[in-house]
Structures are given as C-alpha cells and as structure tokens.
Structure 1
Amino acid sequence: MGKRKRQQPVIIIDIDHTTTGHGSRNELEESENVKNFQLVSPSMSGTSPVRRRKRTRKVGCNSAIPVQKRKLDSGAFEYCFQNLWRSSPEEKKIHFTYLDCLWFSLYLKASHRRKVLKWIKDKQIFSKKYVFVPIVCWSHWSLLIFCHFDERPESKTRKPCMLLLDSLQEANPRRFEPEIRKFVLDIFKEDGKCKNLNVICKIPLMVPKVPQQKNGDECGKFVLYFIHLFMEAAPAKFRIKDYPYFMKENWFTADGVCQFYKKFGRSDEVVCL
C-alpha cells in the first residue's frame, strides 16, 4: 500500500446544502479547494477537524436523533437568514446589507481571496449603515458587524467601528482580530474608499459580553438571533461612547433563541432540547 498523505489544516465550512442566489456559490461548489465538512462542536474539535462517531440524544420521552442532525451547516443558516430577511420591514432593511456566510472563511484561503474581495465590492457595502458578516471558522459561528462604513474613517462626528458578537466568550473571540483587520484593510483597498490606510487600521473592534450558549451546537442559531435583534434595535447613529447599548449579557434568554428558530428555521431540524 502506498503511503498515506498527511492531512493539512483546513477551514471548516459546509456548502453541501447551500441555496443562496449568489452566482459565486456555484463557483465555490466546483472548486477543488473547497471541501465539504460537517461542522463539529468547537469544544470537541481542538485545533484541527476530527471525525466523531454518531451519537444520539433523547428528545422528549421516546424519540432520539443523531447529534449531527442538530448542527447548523451553511445551508440551514442561509435558509433561516433568508426567511428572516424577507420578513424584515423595508424601512429597516434599507440601512443594512450582509455578506455570504462563507466569504470570510474563503478569504482566509489565498486561492479565493481575490474573488471574495470582488464579490464584496459588488455588494456596495459602503452605502449602508450596517453590514452583517457571519463568520464560520474552525467549527464555530460568530457575527462581525461593520457600523457606519458609509462614513469616512476620518470622520469626527460618526466614526466607523466594528462589533464582534460571540456566544462562546471562552473561545476568545479576539483570536480573529488580526484576520479581521487584514480583511477590512483589503476591502477598503479594493474599493479605493480611503487612501490613509493607517486610519483604517485604527477602526475600533469591540466585543460586547452578550448571552452565552449552553452547549457546542447553538452558536449558529445565536448568530441568527443576534442579527434579528440588532436589526430591530440598532440606532440610527451608532456612537461608540454609548456602547454597548442593548448588547449585554442579559440581552435575551435561551428560550428566545429557541422560539426564534422555530419560526424561521427549517422544519426538519430539532430546535429545543
């Protein structure tokens, strides 16, 4: 038998059930560099992806489902997000836009970086007050929000800033800060929005202490709920001195997440345990 090739570290993403309308998604599916992985709990995965045996967890009295069934892949995330987006009032949506949930992960791969930056440029994010950037990387979902990128970075009245909402603080959300800052810098450079790159590097990145998940399977649903509630409560002018506004540890309850996903999520998925 030939020698087995040593596996290289990979960014854990799942494009098995993606149904987004972006034409770029077909390109991703055809790329040999983008592989289909099942999301696993960050508390179990360590620093590299591992395969786990299927286990079952009882639901109610007599039923049982595979644990893997409960994990939120990018297809389920996109399904729920699009339901949420369609149901949001137009007067709210006019101030928001969003990036595909796979784009940040793909940006981290040099072979996809140029394409991702082009797709983002086409989104015209600098015309919106708020931009949602879902992040799924190393088995965990979190939410990056660009605030007031429609303003000049040098602005004295309404400064651009970034929020990173993470339902698993113990995973150290700021571990992504170097990649996030490079990502933002490249976005500005691609668009030609600002010539003073030193100013862009100083855009504040804030990590509020938001409600925390109870297990390793809930992070994607928390991100969707973060988006929903942020759209409802985001101020017309996000001022750093008033931070964190409504984004606090008691912002919402676990039951709120459950009821939200029952309304917008896929009916074939288990929501509450």
Structure 2
Amino acid sequence: MITRQAAKTLRKSGESTSNIFSALPLCKRSKRLRASKQTNCRHDKKLDSNLFQSLLEELWSRTPEQRRRSCIYLDCLWFFLYKDKLTRTKVLSWIKKKQIFSKRYIFVPIVCWSHWSLLILCHFGEKRQSRARKPYMLLLDSLHKTDPRRLEPDIRRFVLDIYRSEEREENEDFLSEIPLLIPKVPQQKKGEECGIFVLYFLHLFMQNVPRSYTEEGCPCFVNEDWFKLEELESFHNEIHSAWKSKGLMEVQ
C-alpha cells in the first residue's frame, strides 16, 4: 500500500494518487485510503508499508541529533515506486528535494517480492577525485537464501538515474564501478521478520555511524555476529511499545 507520507507528498506536488493505483498492484485501495489512526500488528506478522514507515519515523525521532546529522532516509516506498515507469520521474524529483548528497549515509528501505531489505549508499557526496572516501553501497538482507544480488540491476539503475537527475559530473563508467557489498548479517528464523530486521539494521548502523573510511568499504561491525536475536526481540518490543503509548497502534 502507499504510505501516508508518499500520499502526502503526492498531494503537495499537486498530483492525484488515482493515477498511480494501476502502477501499484500490491496495494489495496481501501487500505490506502483509510484514515484510521490505529493499526493492528502481531509480532509475527510482516510489516506493511504504513506501519513500517511510522515505526521508521518513530525510530528516527528517538535517535540523538548528532547521530542523525550525517544520515538521511528515503520513504520506504520510493524504491518500489521508482521501479514503475509511471512514477519514476516523480520519485526522482522527491529525492532531489532531499539533497541526499549532503549526507554521508543514505538509507533506502526496499520492499520487493514481499520482502524488506536495506540499501545504504555511503559517501555518495564525496568528490569523484577523492581517494580518502570513495562511494560504496551496502545491501543488508536478513534472508540471503533468496539471493539479494538479484536486486543489483535495479539498484544500479536507481543510482544512475539519481546522479543524472542531480546533474552530477560522474559518468556511467564511474558509477558502474561503485561496489555493491552484501555482507553476512544475522538471518531471520521466520518468514515474517524482515521488516523488523531492516529497522534494527538501520538502528544499529546509526548507533555506530562510521567516522572513518576503510579500504574494505564495509564497516567492521556489519557482520553475521552483529547482534543476537534476543536483542532484536527486545528492540521489537521497545519500538512497538513506544508507538503504542501514543495511542496509535494496538499490539495483539
């Protein structure tokens, strides 16, 4: 479903949401248009885009400002909407307004094939000639058996179009050489946990934002021993409780 934020952005731009309904086959119009302030969510259920975006915004607001200063995130449906030619141009215009190249780390939630993963664009604002901090990409996926590498063509096209829309000087050859790293990270045990894993990946990365660049590109803390599943469950309970305390969600 389209998130409230995405719909709000469409309204601000003067574009009707009706012309993208056909472009979003995974969305249900009745849910998309519902203005309810409550969302039911069981811990073992997959997060829909509305709840994911709300939890992401809650998580962001609870992160100290000094941690957020060098980071930015995109709406959780923008990558999905970009993949459709009918909404691609609009998404690129939204991204341009975010001025993402002023940040060191850009978080791009991805939902494809009913699965959440997290793309992090690192040092994309650095000068092409910079040897100290060359850009690289991290794709964090809690279900490697589904082959996260299959997203690479769409990711590279996405990045190329962002550079073009920003009228950056980097050419296509340079962009094609930006490494896409898929590190081993903790893996989910159930089929419906991917959304919470993505939020926790983002949370932990924010808490350990790398201040220095390494030759390998991937921060040393991003590995298969990054966290224990008990810590993930504790995070899950905490973020849901915080949102529930605002009277916005019931957790069954």
TM-score relative to the length of structure 2: 0.84
**How far did residue 152 of structure 1 move?**
2.0
Please state whether the residue corresponding to 2:85 is helix, strand or coil. coil
Give runs of aligned pairs for residues 70-109 of structure 1, distance below 5 A: 70-109=45-84
Distance 1:25 1:169 in 2: 34
Is the CA contact 1:38–1:73 (under 8 Å) kept in the aligned structure 2?
A: no
Is the CA contact 2:139–2:180 (under 8 Å) kept in the aligned structure 1?
A: yes
Distance 2:41 2:100 in 1: 39
Please state whether the residue corresponding to 2:159 is helix, strand or coil. helix
Normalized per residue, the structure richer in helix is: 2
2:203 to 220, 225, 228: 228
Is the CA contact 2:23–2:86 (under 8 Å) kept in the aligned structure 1?
A: no
Aligned length: 230
Distance 2:23 2:16 in 1: 7
**How far did residue 243 of structure 1 move?**
3.0
Structure 2 gap segments, 5+ residues each? 29-39, 245-249
Please state whether the residue corresponding to 1:159 is helix, strand or coil. coil
1:184 to 151, 159, 172: 159
Distance 1:21 1:177, change over 3 A: closer
**Where does residue 32 of structure 1 map in the other structure?**
21
Larger Rg: 1
The answer to whether the aligner puts 1:141 opposite 2:130 as a matched pair is no
Distance 1:161 1:110, change over 3 A: same
Distance 2:57 2:41 in 1: 26
- Once the two structures are overlaid, the 10-residue window that deviates more, 96-105 or 18-27, is 18-27
The answer to whether the aligner puts 1:124 opposite 2:83 as a matched pair is no
**Where does residue 150 of structure 2 map in the other structure?**
175
Is the CA contact 1:70–1:269 (under 8 Å) kept in the aligned structure 2?
A: no
Distance 1:66 1:164, change over 3 A: closer
Show CA shifts across 1:77-124 (max 9, x none).
111111111111111111000111101111110111100111111110
Distance 1:21 1:34, change over 3 A: closer
Which structure carries more relative contact order (alpha carbon 8 Å, separation 6+)?
2
Please state whether the residue corresponding to 2:190 is helix, strand or coil. coil
Distance 2:92 2:207 in 1: 29
**Where does residue 269 of structure 1 map in the other structure?**
251
**How far did residue 244 of structure 1 move?**
4.2
Is the CA contact 2:121–2:136 (under 8 Å) kept in the aligned structure 1?
A: yes
Distance 1:177 1:21, change over 3 A: closer
Structure 1 gap segments, 5+ residues each? 1-13, 40-64
Show CA shifts across 1:181-229 (max 9, x none).
0110110011012242211111111000000000110000000000000
Structure 1 residue ranges (4+ consecutive) displaced by more than 6 angstroms after TM superposition: 65-69
Task: State percent identity of aligned pairs.
Answer: 47
Distance 1:66 1:204, change over 3 A: closer
